[in-house]
Structure 1
Amino acid sequence: MSVNSISEQRSRIMSRVRGKNTKLEQLVSKCIWKRGIRFRKNVLSLFGKPDIAIKKYKVVIFIDSCFWHGCQSHFKLPNKNPQYWNNKIKRNIDRDNEVTLYYQKINWTIIRIWEHDLKANFELVIYHVCRQIHMAKHIDHL
C-alpha cells in the first residue's frame, strides 16, 4: 500500500468520526430513558454542549472517548503528525477541565463517563449515573 493510499484511507476514516450522538451516547441515552429519566441531548444553550442534560435538576453528562479526551490509560499518540495530535488532545483536555470547573462553580451535577468504564461494566456505570441523577433531583427539591 502506498503512503498516499494510507493517508487517504486514514483521512476517510477520521472524517467519519462523529462529534455527537456516538454509539456510546446512544447506548447510554437509551438505557437511562428506559429507566424513566427524561433529558435533552447535545444542548447547544448549555456551556460545553453536554451530551445529555437535565436542566430541571441541574445535571449534565459528558461521555468521553479515550482517544479524543486523552485518557491516561488508553490514549495512544498517532505516529503520523504527533505534534498536531498532541496539541489537539491537549486542547480537548483543557476544554474538558474548563467545562467541569464551570459546572462545579454554578453547583450543577456534572457526570463524566469514560468510554473504557462503559466497556468494562456498562450496567454498573448506568447504575451510578442514575443514582447521581436521582440525588440531584432530591437536592433540587429541598
Structure 2
Amino acid sequence: MEVDQLSRPRESWASSDAIRRTMLGCRSRDTRPEKAIRSLLHAKGLRFRVCTRPVAQVRRTADIVFTKARVAVFVDGCFWHGCPQHYRVPRTNTTYWTNKISGNQMRDQETDSILQNAGWTVVRVWEHEEPPIAAATVVRTVADARDRGTSGSQTS
C-alpha cells in the first residue's frame, strides 16, 4: 500500500495530518527573516554566499556565508532552535518535541565549536530580531573580521 507524502504514516512524528502538512511546508532556507537581512546586507554593498557549507568537509550549512572574511551567519527560528524568549513546548508529542529542540540546540553548539576551531566567526541571530539591528551586527562582525585579516592583503 503506497502512502502519499501528505498523509501521515503510522510511525510519523506528527500528531495529525494537518500538523504534518504544516511541518512539511516549513522552509529550511530563504525564510522571510533571512531574506530581509540579506537584502539589507546587499544594500550595504556586502556580497556573500547563501545556504553554503563554511567548511566543505562538514555537513552543516550556514544561512549567510562571507568566505574571505570567514564569517558564518545563522538566522535561527524561535521554535526550531528553542528561543528562550518565544519557544513554548507544544501540548501534543511533548517528549518528541523536547528531544527534537534540545537536539537542535546541541547541534547548534557543536556547529559553532567546529566552525570556531576552523577559524570562522559565527553570528547567530533570532528570527524575531529586527532585521536592521541584525544586519548591523553582521556588518560590524564582517568589518572586524576583515580588519583582523588585513595583516596580509585579504579583501572581499
Query: Could you tell me how far apart the structure 2 residues matched to 1:27 and 1:45 are?
Result: 21
- In structure 1, the residue matched to 2:3 is none
- In structure 2, the residue matched to 1:37 is 46
SS in 2 for 1:14: helix
* Residues 91-127 of structure 1: per-residue CA shift (max 9 Å, x gap): 1000000011112222311110012223xxx322211
Query: Could you tell me how far apart the structure 1 residues matched to 2:101 and 2:108 are?
Result: 10
- In structure 2, the residue matched to 1:104 is 116
% identical equivalent positions: 33
- In structure 2, the residue matched to 1:12 is 21
Query: Could you tell me how far apart the structure 2 residues matched to 1:114 and 1:136 are?
Result: 21
Residue type matched to 2:91 in 1? N
Q: Is the 8 A contact 2:54 2:62 kept in 1?
A: no
1:90 matched to 2:98: no
SS in 1 for 2:124: strand
- The TM-score, its normalising length taken from structure 1, stands at 0.87
Query: Could you tell me how far apart the structure 1 residues matched to 2:63 and 2:117 are?
Result: 19
In structure 1, stretches of 5+ residues that fail to align are none
- The TM-score, its normalising length taken from structure 2, stands at 0.80
- In structure 1, the residue matched to 2:154 is none
- In structure 2, the residue matched to 1:135 is 144
Aligned residues: 135
Residue type matched to 2:21 in 1? R
Query: Could you tell me how far apart the structure 2 residues matched to 1:125 and 1:44 are?
Result: 21
More helix by share: 1
SS in 2 for 1:71: coil
Q: Give the structure with higher Rg (CA).
A: 2
In structure 2, stretches of 5+ residues that fail to align are 1-7, 9-14, 152-156
